């Protein structure tokens, strides 16, 4: 009976992610910011693209080649990765020795983490991938403990390398896992074996090409380093206090609902007269991994005076909290409580699915706007004649540029700060598109890029602005302006 319940739970999760895919296809032709960025990056294959490593872009490029440049490919990759994370969480719990029932509860518990259940569906890319790769690393590391074959060491190295190509903060998770492993005899032997060099060799083979690119593109790599907001201008005590508070806030925002659910389970269980069994030492691996991860983050505050942490940055180092807490709450998970967790998870899944389906309609009613309310799809559709006459389109923002690429996949699109596609082939006909807000001049960064691409000698053909009402907010209008800039044909003198 337990096996059938687990199979039904996995099937229900599969149906849930399939419904998420359909909802994404039906709810809007618009894009979220990370989706738009990926549409721009996938215009060419490279060893690196900016401040994020390239694996997600490579995977999406493969799906675009199979299914075309469309929202289906964007949503398919994300939901496949999320489903894989849930399955890998279940497998990790089983590898730790928990029953199928308890393992399924750990898998469903990912729905109690807002960043996994909601934000990963709404607008995340690299963070979704790095969580899947971290989960795969845990499964392969636990498998290596059971079977220390050369193949499993190679597999572990592949996971390490892929994780670092997925998102750089995978490094915090990896260091934490290795340090935690050193503290436990069962896992320390894995690291002290000479076969660990197989893992290191595979990891280096995977990572070195991108590392070479990164070493030659340091300025590009550091474009988002300001997100951490090092407070060198503040006194040390103030910056440490600010950073510690930000870290605590990010941890609680990430794990709060999960800790409430698991805390109630543990509290009720501890009041029993039956003593809580002491878990096997190896079962504490992931709990120690969480502690080391948080210690590293705190060290960043103390040494580098990092003052800002965001809850989405916690994903690869805290997503496995359900697994880490199983030694404490696992004995409390009777079949009845497991069913309660599944029912609660089903309720959360229904709320998330409904929220994803109606958020664009509801947002204007509560006085906010989502990116799906922006009428880029309708506006860009009106630019078809202009786009057809251009070699390259220069858009003001990534969201606008990504929408143009989505609707005209054969057209090259550039944006300020994005891939400089014009270096290898200067355009003869450049279409510039920008938001034409009343009283606002044409953006200076666009004018600078035009001068860089086309030089001083150029012909300008302005087009009439295009307009469209906001989605689900018809009283508000958005307007785009565009102009075609042509490089004049040189006059050949007659002899």
Q: Report pLDDT digits (tens) over 381-439.
A: 999 999 999 999 999 999 999 999 999 999 999 998 876 654 545 788 899 999 987 76
Give the phi and the psi of residue 32 in degrees, each rounded to 5.
-85, 170
- Per-residue pLDDT, 367: 83
Describe the crossing of helices 71-95 and 33-41 by its angle, rounded to 10 degrees: 110
The residue-averaged pLDDT of 229-242 equals 77
Q: Residue 222, Cβ neighbours under 10 Å: how many?
A: 12
Q: Which of 319, 313, 261, 351 is nearest to 110 (CA)?
A: 319
The least confident of 375-384, 425-434, 474-483 is: 425-434
Helical H segments across 271-369, by residue range: 285-304, 315-318, 321-324, 326-329, 335-362
Tens of pLDDT, residues 168-196? 999 999 999 999 999 999 899 999 999 99
412-414 and 459-462 strand pairing: unpaired
DSSP letter assigned to residue 179: H
In the chain, what are the domain boundaries?
2-359, 374-486
Residue 494 buriedness (CB in 10 A; 0-12 / 13-18 / 19+): exposed
Q: Is 237 helix (H, G, I), strand (E, B) or coil?
A: helix
Residue 214 CA to residue 221 CA, distance in Å, equals 7
The DSSP call for residue 408 is -
Contact present, 58 and 47 (Cβ < 8 Å): no
Q: What is the pLDDT of residue 494?
A: 57
Are β-strands 459-462 and 473-486 bridged in parallel, bridged antiparallel, or unpaired?
antiparallel
Residue range 101-115: mean pLDDT, rounded = 94
Residues 343-363 pLDDT 10s? 999 999 999 999 999 999 998
pLDDT digits (tens, 9 = 90+) for 33-92: 999 999 999 999 999 988 899 999 999 999 999 999 999 999 999 999 999 999 999 999
The tokens describing 127, both together, are: 């963070």
The answer to whether residue 104 scores a pLDDT higher than 60 is: yes
pLDDT interval class at 4 (50, 70, 90)? confident
Residues 231/305, Cβ–Cβ less than 8 Å: yes
| % of the chain beyond a pLDDT of 90 | 67
pLDDT computed for residue 421 by the predictor? 56
Cβ atoms of 121 and 270 within 8 Å: the answer is no
pLDDT at 102 over 80: yes
- Of residues 231 and 431, which shows the higher confidence score? 431
3-state secondary structure of 346: helix
Res 273 pLDDT > 50: no
Of the candidates 357, 409, 399, 362, which has an alpha carbon nearest to the alpha carbon of residue 24? 357
Write out the H or E segment, with its range, that includes residue 434.
strand 429-435
Average pLDDT value over all residues in the chain: 89
Higher pLDDT, residue 180 or 269 = 180
CB 142 within 8 A of CB 69: no
pLDDT band of 275, cuts 50, 70, 90:
very low
Pick the residue with more confidence: 457 or 64? 64
| Whether pTM exceeds 0.95 | no
């Amino acid at each position: 009976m337990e096996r059938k319940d687990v199979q039904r739970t996995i099937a229900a999760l599969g149906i849930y992610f399939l419904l998420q895919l359909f909802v994404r296809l039906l709810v809007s032709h618009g894009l979220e910011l990370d989706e738009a960025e990926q549409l721009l990056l996938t215009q060419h294959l490279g060893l690196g693209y900016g401040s994020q490593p390239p694996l997600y872009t490579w995977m999406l490029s493969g799906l675009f080649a199979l299914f075309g440049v469309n929202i289906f490919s964007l949503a398919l990759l994300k939901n496949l990765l999320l489903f894989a994370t849930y399955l890998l969480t279940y497998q990790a719990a089983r590898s730790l020795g928990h029953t199928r029932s308890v393992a399924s509860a750990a898998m469903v518990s990912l729905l109690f983490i807002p960043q996994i259940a909601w934000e990963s569906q709404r607008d995340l890319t690299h963070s979704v991938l790095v969580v899947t790769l971290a989960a795969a690393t845990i499964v392969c590391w636990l498998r290596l403990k059971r079977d220390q074959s050369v193949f499993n060491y190679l597999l572990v190295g592949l996971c390490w390398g892929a994780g670092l190509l997925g998102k750089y903060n995978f490094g915090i998770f990896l260091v934490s896992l290795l340090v935690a492993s050193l503290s436990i005899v069962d896992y320390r032997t894995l690291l002290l074996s000479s076969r660990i060099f197989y893992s290191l060799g595979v990891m280096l083979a995977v990572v070195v090409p991108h590392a070479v690119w990164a070493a030659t593109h340091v300025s590009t790599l550091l474009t988002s380093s300001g997100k951490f907001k090092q407070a060198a201008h503040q006194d040390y005590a103030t910056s440490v206090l600010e950073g510690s508070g930000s870290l605590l806030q990010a941890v609680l925002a990430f794990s709060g609902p999960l800790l409430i659910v698991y805390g109630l389970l543990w509290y009720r269980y501890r009041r029993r007269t039956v003593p809580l069994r002491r878990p096997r030492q190896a079962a504490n691996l992931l709990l120690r991994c969480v502690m080391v991860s948080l210690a590293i983050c705190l060290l960043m505050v103390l040494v580098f005076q990092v003052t800002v942490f965001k809850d989405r940055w916690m994903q690869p180092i805290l997503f496995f909290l359900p697994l880490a807490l199983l030694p404490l709450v696992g004995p409390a998970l009777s079949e009845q409580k497991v069913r309660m967790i599944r029912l609660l998870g089903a309720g959360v899944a229904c709320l998330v699915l409904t929220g994803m389906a109606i958020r664009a309609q509801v947002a204007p009613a509560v006085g906010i706007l989502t990116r799906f309310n922006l009428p880029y799809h309708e506006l860009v559709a009106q630019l078809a004649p202009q786009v057809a006459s251009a070699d390259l389109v220069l858009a003001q923002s990534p969201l606008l540029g990504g929408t143009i690429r989505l609707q005209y996949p054969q057209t090259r699109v550039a944006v300020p700060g994005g891939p400089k596609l014009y270096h290898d082939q200067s355009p003869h006909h450049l279409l510039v598109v920008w938001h034409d807000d009343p009283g606002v001049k044409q953006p200076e960064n666009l004018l600078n890029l035009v001068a860089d691409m086309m030089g001083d000698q150029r012909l300008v053909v302005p087009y009439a602005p295009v307009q469209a009402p906001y989605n689900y907010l018809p009283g508000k209008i958005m307007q785009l302006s565009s102009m075609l800039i042509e490089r004049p044909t040189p006059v050949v003198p007659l002899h």
